[in-house]
Amino acid sequence: MGSMDIIEAKCDEKNIKKLEAINNKHLNDFIAKFVNLFEPDSIFICNDSEEDIQHVRNKAIKDGEETKLAVSGHTVHFDSIYDQARDKARTKFLVPKGKEFGKGLNIIDKEEGLTEVNEIMSGIMKGRQLIVMFFTLGPADSPFTIPAVQLTDSSYVAHSETMLYRRGYQEFKRLGNYDKFFRFVHSEGELENAVSKNIDKRRIYIDTKEDTVYSMNTQYGGNTLGLKKLAMRLGISRASQEDWLTEHMFIVGIHGPESRVTYFAGAFPSMCGKTSTAMLKGETIIGDDIVYIRNIDGRAKAVNVEVGLFGIIQDINPDDDPMIWKILHEGKEVIFSNVLVTDDGKVNWIGKPGDLPEKGKNHTGQWSPDKKDADGNEVPPSHKNARFTSSLKELENLDPNYDDPAGVELGGVLYGGRDSNTCVPVLESYGWEHGIITMGASIESETTAATLGKTGVRTHNPMSNLDFLSIPMGTYVDINIQFGKKLEKAPKVFAVNYFLKDREGREFLNTKLDKMVWLKWMELRVNGEADAIDAVTGLIPEYKDLKILFKEHLDKDYSEEEYIQQFTVRINENIEKIDRIIEIYKDKGPEVPENLFDTLKKQKEKLEKMLNEKGSYISPLDL
């Protein structure tokens, strides 16, 4: 049987017509292959019309994957209690025998992996409808565009993606018989109480060679939304062959003097202030999670791959997150996941101001404040990874250029981590390569009470992209270095540290609001309007500039004592960090560029020289 015959056997006239209008043999072959395997009862082809999107929304309610809440357009979805986050252990790359894939990546022999996942996929959609959706990663019809197809039997996954990604049916029609689209194949598997049941058969297998990801027996967005973290692995692999970058970054427009806007992209490990930086009051956001960056006419141009938010809801409150708060209460369309819902359809989460309700329902079932788990521990009202899904278009602070097919020019990139004792609050690198090596490739973050295990343990997370690397770490760092070298005008590179404590490790030296000043200073630096002081590991602000910025933006009298405390260079801590990073990269294989070691060693020598000359703590006034 030909591909269209296989599809037609399960697909009514109306839906077949939508596929015929695209007229792409590669697409039809791809769909037919999985129709054969999945054996769905029917197929729905989404052509992005309002009617088709509404079909997906309605189906999510009908299937029980989402439940309506009190606010019209708001729904709640629950994932299995065992399916609340990305499954790193069972996310693997399919690699043919004998092929090198880079140290430290989680791989499985391709043949073995495919046999395993084929068995899982066999007949998995019996009695169900296969949904076929089209999207583009990045704006359509642009140098950035990657078209993508999602196959899924989850109306929750399909519905989420209608909010998070740009609709792509028209782009597929325009492209015709095109082959280089990304392919995402998902089934939530058998359900029990509307959540995936066979968690032991959860698999996320990635074939970078075929641009295909298989995701089975899971519903949690990070495992299932093909265009999010699954596409990110495919994107890193493709970008590495084509000299551009796929990064785990936000983009924010910082508004400088005389209505000038300078764009910054930033990478932070989770719980380090990524979203709050992207959402800074008075500034405009382009994206909060994933970017593509290309060299266009010698400039670093960036787009948000997505058009929505899949954000952590814990601790969202009206003072710190006024824009998100507004969406969560008045947004036209929001999916809440793994929160607490009361009988009257209202939503609660850990850290929401106000009293907790007496009872409600969450991912663990019926809940009350005295609920304990099997180990006798209190069950919080919501999961700490509970999330909300919404479109960016609902945000009042959305940047007008968020959908520009030419991208926005990056004036700077910044890297941050949770660091109690080493890096000053803001530091500019000596140049692109120095920044990539000593800042991006050297990001460390300390564990918090929110994660299991010991707190305060530093974990290395290069460019905050560790979980998504699909190429050797050394290659990835080198590609970042080479990218900037080929630009006529590379963005400035900065490190920020919102978590610096006093030397005794007792008190944070900055408030949550201070990041505004660091960003405003960077904006001036990018535009050549502020001087800087050489602080051994990079450049720091002058007191006089910060004093003005603190007054102007936070109405605060910033004292010289505060400046000295915050910007004192901690020599030994910096030397120790370099030693840790060198140790890590020594173990990462031959792909690590030699210049990474050279640059770090030179920085260490410079620090040692300063130690001899000026001691272990150097005030910025003595530099």
**Shortest Å distance, C-beta 234 to Mn ion:** 16
Q: Does 270 bind ligand SPV (CB under 6 A)?
A: yes
Q: Within its chain, how far is the Cα of 617 from the centroid?
A: 36
What is the enclosing helix (H) or strand (E) of 58?
helix 50-62
Burial class, 397, CB count within 10 angstroms (exposed 0-12 / middle 13-18 / buried 19+): middle
Residue with smaller CB distance to ligand SPV, 310 or 563: 310
Stretch that binds Mn ion, among 281-289, 324-332, 514-522, 591-599 (CB under 5 A): 281-289
- Identify the residue among 66, 211, 289, 478 touching Mn ion (CB under 5 A): 289
Which letter does DSSP use for residue 260 in this model?
-
Q: Does 416 bind ligand SPV (CB under 6 A)?
A: no
Burial class, 275, CB count within 10 angstroms (exposed 0-12 / middle 13-18 / buried 19+): buried
The footprint of ligand SPV on residues 300-339 (CB under 6 A) is 310
Can you give the three-state secondary structure of 298-342, one letter per residue? CEEEEEECCCEEEEECCCCCCCCCHHHHHHHHHCCCEEEECCEEC
What is the enclosing helix (H) or strand (E) of 484?
helix 473-485
Query: At CB < 8 A and 24+ separation, what contacts does 50-59 make?
Result: 53/162, 56/131, 56/133, 56/155, 56/158, 56/159, 56/162, 57/159, 57/162, 59/129, 59/131, 59/155, 59/158
Residue with smaller CB distance to Mn ion, 207 or 289: 289
Pairing, β 91-95 against β 203-207: parallel
Q: What is the dihedral of CA 12, 13, 14, 18, to 10 degrees?
A: 100
Q: How far apart are CA 316 and CA 325, in angstroms?
A: 7
- Identify the residue among 83, 153, 207, 289 touching ligand SPV (CB under 6 A): 289
**Shortest Å distance, C-beta 468 to ligand SPV:** 8
The footprint of ligand SPV on residues 72-91 (CB under 6 A) is 86
Residues 203-222: x/- map of binding to ligand SPV (CB under 6 A)?
------------------xx
Residue with smaller CB distance to ligand SPV, 162 or 566: 162
- Total residues contacting Mn ion by CB under 5 A comes to 1
From ligand SPV, Mn ion, none, interface partner of 77 (C-beta below 5 to 8 A by class)? none
**Residue whose C-beta lies closest to ligand SPV:** 222
**Shortest Å distance, C-beta 410 to ligand SPV:** 20
**Shortest Å distance, C-beta 182 to Mn ion:** 18
The footprint of Mn ion on residues 221-280 (CB under 5 A) is none
- The residues, ordered by sequence, that sit 6+ positions from 289 with a Cβ below 8 Å of its Cβ are 228, 248, 249, 250, 305, 306, 310
Stretch that binds Mn ion, among 284-292, 335-343, 491-499, 577-585 (CB under 5 A): 284-292
Q: How far apart are CA 92 and CA 89, in angstroms?
A: 8
Residue 11 bears catalytic tag: no
Q: Does 545 bind Mn ion (CB under 5 A)?
A: no
- Neighbour tally for 588: CB within 10 Å: 19
The label of the residue with tokens 């019309």 reads 49
The footprint of ligand SPV on residues 148-187 (CB under 6 A) is none
For residues 44 and 132, the answer to whether their CB atoms sit within 8 Å is yes
Stretch that binds Mn ion, among 106-114, 238-246, 288-296, 576-584 (CB under 5 A): 288-296
Residue with smaller CB distance to ligand SPV, 270 or 619: 270
For residues 41 and 127, the answer to whether their CB atoms sit within 8 Å is yes
Residue with smaller CB distance to ligand SPV, 337 or 422: 337
From Mn ion, ligand SPV, none, interface partner of 221 (C-beta below 5 to 8 A by class)? ligand SPV
Q: Does 201 bind ligand SPV (CB under 6 A)?
A: no
Q: Which residues bind Mn ion (CB under 5 A)?
A: 289
Residue ranges in contact with ligand SPV by CB under 6 A? 86, 221-222, 228-229, 270, 289, 310
| Active-site annotation, residues | 272
